[in-house]
Amino acid sequence: MNDIYTYLNQLQAYLQQQETRIRNLEASLQNVNNQLQQLKDKPPVNVERIEYRFDQLKVERLDGTLNIGLNPNELQNIDEFAVNSAGPPPPFLFPEREQAVQNICRVIQDYINTELTENLSRASKGSPIDPSYLNFIKDDIIGQLPQKIQQYLDSTPPVERTPEQLPQILETIIEKLKIDVSQALFTFVNQLSNQ
């Protein structure tokens, strides 16, 4: 009989302990529900558009991580991430590229040697130009030709880079270079006459 009495006392203590625990859990749940309701009652934050102006940033010390738009933890789930950029197209490579550059250089050098004096005399309006200036101009222009030709080749739109269109592309580059040379000559002579 004594064992039953002890057992019932232990059972009653256990039930009271469980009842206290349930009340604490209910109070915690009510607290969480109140906080959730407060969050629901707050107006949502709506960001229409964010513009980043990096050219206006002044950075004195740079360390740490800057995340804009993506969380580094999300990057592992991205299979492919492509950004549309307006960067320069890839170089226009073709087997005869170096030979084409040399051929265009020869054509433009011939143009400079045959038509330069005539163009300069027209630009200078009959005033004689010192031969050293003439040689300086020739050397300067000829020295810049390979780089300018490659720049024009690489600026060719990728959709036009076909073997069928290559002769037309090279001819267009020659015409552009002739215009560039003429403009450079007239600008130089005008600056020379102003001095």
Give 132-176 pLDDT, tens digit per residue: 777 877 888 888 899 999 999 998 888 888 889 989 999 999 999
- pLDDT value at position 59? 54
Distance CA 153, CA 100 (A): 10
Residues 56/120, Cβ–Cβ less than 8 Å? no
User: Poorest-confidence range of 27-36, 62-71, 105-114, 136-145?
Assistant: 62-71
- pLDDT value at position 168? 93
Q: Is 86 exposed, middle or buried (0-12, 13-18, 19+ CB in 10 A)?
A: exposed
Residues 137/185, Cβ–Cβ less than 8 Å? yes
Whether residue 177 is contained in a domain is answered as yes
Whether residue 159 is contained in a domain is answered as yes
Distance CA 27, CA 18 (A): 14
Whether residue 48 is contained in a domain is answered as no
User: Which residue range(s) make up the domain with 8?
Assistant: 1-30
pLDDT at 17 over 60: yes
Whether residue 46 is contained in a domain is answered as no
Indicate if 21 and 110 belong to the same structural domain. Answer: no
Whether residue 92 is contained in a domain is answered as no
Closest by Cα among 113, 118, 121 to 141? 113
**Which segments of the chain does DSSP mark as H helices, in order?**
2-41, 72-75, 97-123, 131-154, 166-194
Calculate the CA 62 to chain-centre distance. 21
Q: Rounded mean pLDDT of the chain?
A: 79
Whether residue 87 is contained in a domain is answered as no
Whether residue 167 is contained in a domain is answered as yes
Distance CA 129, CA 182 (A): 16
Distance CA 150, CA 170 (A): 11
- pLDDT value at position 170? 92
pLDDT at 72 over 70: no
The winner for highest mean pLDDT among 53-67, 119-133, 150-164 is 150-164
Closest by Cα among 25, 3, 23, 21 to 13? 21
Give the pTM: 0.52
Whether residue 9 is contained in a domain is answered as yes
How many domains does the chain divide into? 2
